[in-house]
Amino acid sequence: MHQQGLQLIIRQKLRDGTLPYNSIPRVWGGPGHGEMCDACDSTITNDEWVIEGIALTGGRKPLQLHTECFHLWEQERHAVVASPPLRAADGGPAATRPHMPRDSDVPPGAAIGIRDIARRLGVSVGTVDRALHDKRGINPETRARVLL
């Protein structure tokens, strides 16, 4: 698929929530085995690489993308997070472009990692990891705080 077409598809999927805005704390890759790319909706064949990761938002299945789609997703989600909100005079209300909340200790456009989440919530990195990977040994209320 053409790169500009992929960018438009990824932007739309970011807007409608099909693709997450937040970072993926840990990713891995390997040869494809017929997975469906969450960005371009095409099959990842055996001669292509799949990048897979678990998004920070709860209830999502692991994200599976072609390497090119992963790269474009990274670019597009950072571009939207770093851009200023739209004003009505610019073609629509501010709500037409979603934004990730930022804390003062994270520079604009920077990815938020598992350590940042742990520090902000006052919990350990292990607690955040257990919540993100749906493991045992975590208070349900703490899990909910991490996943919100």
Please state the pTM of the whole predicted model.
0.54
Using the predicted structure, report yes or no on whether residue 98 has a pLDDT greater than 60: no
The pLDDT of residue 100 is 42
The pLDDT of residue 137 is 86
The pLDDT of residue 111 is 60
The pLDDT of residue 48 is 92
Tokens for 86, please give them: 């739209």
Instruction: Quick: pLDDT tens for 24-70.
Output: 778 889 999 999 999 999 999 999 999 998 866 656 688 899 999 99
Residue, of 2 and 71, whose pLDDT is higher? 71
* Predicted confidence band of residue 144 (pLDDT cuts 50, 70, 90): confident
The pLDDT of residue 16 is 83
**Closest of 133, 116, 137, 6 to residue 69, by C-alpha:** 6
Using the predicted structure, report yes or no on whether residue 88 has a pLDDT greater than 50: no
* Predicted confidence band of residue 110 (pLDDT cuts 50, 70, 90): low
- Please give the Cα distance from 67 to 95 (Å, whole number): 31
- Please give the Cα distance from 81 to 73 (Å, whole number): 12
Residue, of 95 and 115, whose pLDDT is higher? 115
**What is the full DSSP assignment across the chain?**
--HHHHHHHHHHHHHHTSS-SS--S-EEEEE-SSEEPTTT--EE-TTSEEEEE--SSTTPPPEEEEHHHHHHHHHHHHHHHHSPPPPGGGTS-GGGS------TTS-TTPPP-HHHHHHHHT--HHHHHHHHTT-SSS-HHHHHHHH-
Q: Report the percent of the chain where pLDDT is more than 90.
A: 18
